[in-house]
Amino acid sequence: MIKWLMKFFMNKEILFKMMTYKLSSNKKIEEIVGSFAPACQKYKFALLHDYVYHEVVESKGFPIERKVYIYEICQAKVAALVLTDEPDFAPFMPCRVALYEEGNKVSISTQNMQMILDTLGDNKVLQGQTSELFKHLKQLMNEIQ
């Protein structure tokens, strides 16, 4: 029922706007890619994996025109808290940041965790730690922008 209501009342743009935190940059994508790892260090995120996604899909026989980079990052202390207290969050981990070309701009996006974080009101420690993580993730994204 909820799925039907969301589809009925929300178009794709509204749904993506709700589900993502997205910035736009005038920098070249290579410049942003080069600044990502140092920004992770600054904000105490471990860079677990990175994908040059346009090359991944091309190697499978599906070339695309735009450059797309996807990063998986983590703060182990917060991850341990989440997995201990709220294992249902596991599918949303680790945090992912996507960089992709959109016309002459670069989009920098991640999932908007705020709706999920708002459900943690009963667990003040976990809500505080995860909210701080999301704040740092947004700061990282603003810095590389």
CA distance linking residue 64 with residue 124, whole number of Å: 44
> Could you give the C-alpha distances from 8 to 4, 15, 68, in angstroms and in order?
6, 11, 31
pLDDT in tens, 38-78: 999 999 999 999 999 999 999 999 999 999 999 999 999 99
DSSP β-bridge partners for residue 70: 51, 98
> Global pTM?
0.88
CA distance linking residue 139 with residue 131, whole number of Å: 12
CA distance linking residue 145 with residue 141, whole number of Å: 6
The mean pLDDT of the chain is 91
Write down the pLDDT at residue 102: 95
CA distance linking residue 76 with residue 56, whole number of Å: 27
> pLDDT below 70 — which residues of the chain?
1-10
Which residue type sits at 137? L
Contact 29, 106 (CB under 8 A): yes
| Second CATH level (architecture) for the domain 20-144 | 2-Layer Sandwich (3.30)
Domain residue extents for the chain = 20-144
